[in-house]
């Protein structure tokens, strides 16, 4: 099916229907929608296509640059200011996240589209200058002394100059390498009006003036035509198409080790057949606006994210949730939509997330990854929304992991969503706890509990699909884990094994769990009870038995969490005041709301 359909109802009314396709095309459709919406044009958006009036494209040259400026400012300036405040603060009591959020919301509300770009740039400069007044009013007591030293306008003078001259190179070079106007050094010195005019001539005018005469209307006209490799539309004039190359979206030309060009295929006798039409070129040019800058760092080493879904209305809504930095909201939307639930398997299998880290051609930090959403997590969230949400919210703390300061809740839900094993993360946190670099043992328990729920759901589905067997009650399965943890906490008093020795033993156990060395773990466990002349509790013996419901690592981690926190000497530090422990631990959460497996 063609991705583009032309509707000509009247001679003066021309419309384009842009249908969903692959993730790159979809990100471009979302970007075009956002740019038009930013310019106060509301294109008709259906579940399967975006309907735009061709005459509305006239506003794109100005709206494109103004949208880029706003996106650039919101991505860069709040981070710059909070970073400087962090450097100058004398105490750690300043809530930098609240300050950053306040600046971001201020910029979002104050920066509006203006058909006169020169007036728009004046407003931008005034808005940036007014950030200082905003902070003085909202955070006077907390950062008054810092603001006296921190001159916002001087701090951001280089960025203001770059914005005023529309210097696009640093932002677009990684996305559209050597793209005409956007990522070529020689065009950066052009006056603003010349850039806008050049954008119109290159990307808009051909669509306005040539599309009606170019599209092959019937089978008699398709004997000699040129096909766009993106939308599969057939065009009569070769001039309406150009090569699909790395400058159209550079990250696609990137491997995990080096920059590789994947574009030049279908080549014969020095003639290229991978042609794209002017409409698709414009759509790809808008892809940058379809990607959302990630709020928090994570271990993927990517900066931008886009979620593709079968319905355009969902693409718009779900990516708006990403823009609002509430990843958990995506799960809520997916589980509350009746149509999605009726087609759960098909729909979830066609929802996937693309993450990129753009960069220049010669740099080595490019990255492109994509993941399908884990249907197990969606189903589990649908059945136990309050429980899963409470567990995830209890993980809303910052941790050190793989040389990054990351949010534990985001990392957890991302790993579960992308079907990654979170056992290594649990082991890492336990080691940090033993080294007194992480104090929230309750968070580790909740993480283990969450992993247990997901694992049990997978086992449930596999057993039902294979044999339809009756399944063990989830309460009984979790009871095994809790009994192992409880007996481990009761087996050895702090007077028998002091904290230092306990830490050393726990490290040895963790290394064996990490390597999945079952026999070595069993031997060490038995030796521990023999050395201290202790009978082995029945619950602990469960670790030694193979189980269809619990893995060795799950049972071993339950033992370690109990062993490092003996009942006669709990040394867990309290949560900070802004993190509530109420009703978030496995002990406080009732399993009654989890349906029995039968």
Q: What is the pLDDT of residues 134-150, one digit of tens each?
A: 887 877 766 766 776 77
CA distance 19 to 52: 11
In a domain, 191, yes or no: no
Total length of the chain: 598
- The residue among 83, 124, 84 whose CA lies nearest residue 106 is 124
How much is the pLDDT for 435?
93
pLDDT band per the 50, 70, 90 thresholds, residue 83: confident
In sequence order, the 6+-apart residues with CB closer than 8 A to the CB of 428 are: 401
Distances (CA, A) of 384 to 75, 417, 464: 35, 16, 20
Q: Report DSSP letters for 40-77, one per residue.
A: T---EE-SSEEEEEGGGGGGHHHHHHHHHHHHHHHHHH
Model pLDDT for residues 109-122, shown as the tens digit of each residue: 999 999 999 999 99
- The residue among 219, 222, 155, 165 whose CA lies nearest residue 194 is 165
How much is the pLDDT for 337?
64
CA distance 213 to 208: 11
Taking residues 182-204, what's their average pLDDT?
Answer: 89
Among 172, 188, 205, the domain-final residue is 172
Burial of residue 103 (CB within 10 Å: 0-12, 13-18, 19+) is: buried
Among 172, 200, 230, the domain-final residue is 172
Task: Reduce the secondary structure of 118-137 to three states and give it as a string.
Answer: HHHHHHHHHHHHHHHHHHHH
In a domain, 565, yes or no: yes
Model pLDDT for residues 230-270, shown as the tens digit of each residue: 888 888 888 888 888 778 887 776 554 555 555 555 455 55
In a domain, 185, yes or no: no
Worst-scoring range by mean pLDDT, 53-57, 302-306, 389-393, 550-554?
A: 389-393
Burial of residue 380 (CB within 10 Å: 0-12, 13-18, 19+) is: buried
Radius of gyration of the chain measured on its C-alpha atoms: 29
Domain span at residue 499 reads 398-593
Lookup: tokens for 595: 């349906």
Taking residues 400-416, what's their average pLDDT?
Answer: 85
Distances (CA, A) of 511 to 428, 445, 526, 530, 566: 10, 19, 17, 21, 21
CA distance 590 to 585: 10
Taking residues 268-279, what's their average pLDDT?
Answer: 72
Among 172, 196, 227, the domain-final residue is 172
CA distance 537 to 529: 10
CA atoms within 13 A on the CB side of 127: 24
Burial of residue 435 (CB within 10 Å: 0-12, 13-18, 19+) is: exposed
Model pLDDT for residues 350-378, shown as the tens digit of each residue: 888 888 888 665 666 778 887 877 778 87
In a domain, 314, yes or no: no
- The residue among 414, 186, 145, 187 whose CA lies nearest residue 298 is 414
Distances (CA, A) of 92 to 95, 96, 142, 240: 8, 9, 11, 59
CA distance 207 to 235: 12
Q: To the nearest whole number, what is the mean pLDDT of the chain?
A: 81
How much is the pLDDT for 578?
35
Domain count for the chain, please give it. 2
Backbone angles phi, psi at 468, to 5 degrees: 70, 25
In a domain, 237, yes or no: no
CA distance 546 to 367: 40
In a domain, 215, yes or no: no
pLDDT band per the 50, 70, 90 thresholds, residue 72: very high
In a domain, 41, yes or no: no
pLDDT at position 78 over 70: yes
Taking residues 419-436, what's their average pLDDT?
Answer: 92
How much is the pLDDT for 590?
40
In a domain, 451, yes or no: yes
CA distance 424 to 511: 11
pTM listed for this prediction: 0.82
36-40, 157-161, 375-379 — most confident range: 36-40
How much is the pLDDT for 340?
58
pLDDT at position 323 over 80: no
Tell me whether strands 234-235 and 304-308 are parallel, antiparallel or unpaired.
unpaired
pLDDT at position 579 over 70: no
3-class secondary-structure state, position 282? helix
3-class secondary-structure state, position 6? strand
Worst-scoring range by mean pLDDT, 219-228, 265-274, 507-516?
A: 265-274
Model pLDDT for residues 480-515, shown as the tens digit of each residue: 899 999 999 999 999 999 999 999 999 999 999 999
């Amino acid at each position: 099916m063609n991705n583009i359909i032309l509707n000509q109802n009247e001679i003066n009314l021309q419309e384009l229907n842009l249908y969903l396709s692959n993730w790159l095309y979809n990100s471009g459709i979302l970007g075009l929608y956002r740019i038009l919406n930013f310019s106060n044009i509301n294109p008709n958006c259906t579940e399967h296509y975006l309907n735009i009036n061709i005459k509305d494209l006239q506003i794109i040259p100005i709206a494109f640059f103004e949208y880029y400026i706003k996106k650039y400012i919101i991505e860069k300036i709040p981070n710059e200011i909070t970073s400087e405040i962090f450097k100058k603060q004398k105490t750690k009591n300043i809530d930098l996240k609240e300050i950053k959020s306040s600046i971001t919301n201020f910029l979002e509300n104050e920066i509006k589209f203006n058909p006169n770009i020169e007036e728009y740039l004046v407003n931008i400069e005034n808005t940036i200058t007014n950030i200082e007044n905003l902070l003085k009013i909202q955070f006077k007591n907390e950062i008054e002394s810092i603001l006296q030293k921190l001159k916002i306008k001087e701090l951001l003078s280089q960025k203001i100059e770059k914005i005023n001259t529309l210097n696009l190179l640093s932002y677009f070079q990684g996305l559209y390498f050597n793209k005409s106007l956007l990522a070529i050094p020689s065009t950066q010195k052009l006056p603003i009006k010349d850039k806008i005019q050049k954008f119109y001539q290159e990307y808009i005018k051909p669509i306005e003036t040539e599309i009606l005469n170019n599209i092959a209307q019937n089978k008699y006209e398709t004997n000699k035509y040129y096909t766009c490799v993106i939308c599969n539309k057939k065009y009569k004039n070769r001039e309406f198409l150009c090569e699909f190359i790395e400058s159209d979206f550079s990250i696609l030309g990137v491997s995990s080790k080096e920059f590789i060009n994947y574009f030049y295929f279908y080549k014969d006798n020095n003639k290229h057949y991978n042609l794209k039409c002017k409409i698709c070129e414009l759509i790809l040019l808008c892809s940058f606006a379809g990607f959302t800058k990630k709020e928090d760092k994570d271990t993927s080493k990517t900066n931008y994210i886009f979620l593709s879904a079968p319905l355009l209305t969902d693409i718009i809504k779900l990516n708006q949730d990403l823009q609002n930095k509430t990843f958990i909201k995506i799960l809520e939307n997916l589980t509350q939509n009746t149509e999605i639930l009726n087609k759960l398997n098909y729909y979830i299998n066609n929802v996937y997330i693309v993450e990129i880290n753009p960069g220049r051609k010669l740099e080595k930090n490019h990255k492109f990854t994509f993941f399908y959403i884990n249907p197990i997590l969606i189903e589990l969230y649908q059945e136990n929304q309050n429980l899963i949400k409470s567990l995830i919210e209890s993980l809303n703390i910052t941790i050190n992991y793989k040389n990054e300061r990351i949010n534990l809740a985001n990392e957890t839900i991302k790993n579960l969503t992308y079907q990654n094993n979170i056992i290594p993360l649990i082991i890492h946190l336990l080691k940090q706890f033993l080294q007194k670099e992480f104090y929230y043992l309750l968070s580790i328990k909740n993480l283990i509990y969450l992993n247990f729920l997901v694992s049990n759901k997978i086992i449930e589905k596999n057993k039902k699909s294979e044999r339809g067997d009756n399944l063990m009650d989830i309460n009984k399965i979790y009871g095994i884990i809790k009994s192992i943890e409880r007996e481990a906490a009761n087996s050895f008093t702090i007077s028998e094994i002091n904290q230092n020795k306990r830490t050393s033993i726990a490290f040895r156990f963790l290394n064996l769990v990490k390597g999945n060395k079952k026999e070595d773990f069993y031997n060490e466990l038995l030796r521990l009870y023999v050395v201290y002349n202790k009978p082995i509790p029945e619950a602990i013996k469960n670790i030694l038995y193979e189980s269809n419901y619990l893995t060795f690592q799950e049972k071993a981690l339950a033992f370690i969490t109990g062993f490092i926190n003996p009942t006669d000497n709990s040394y867990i530090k309290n949560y900070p005041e802004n993190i509530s422990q109420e009703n978030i631990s496995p002990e406080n959460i009732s399993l009654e709301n989890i349906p029995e497996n039968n």
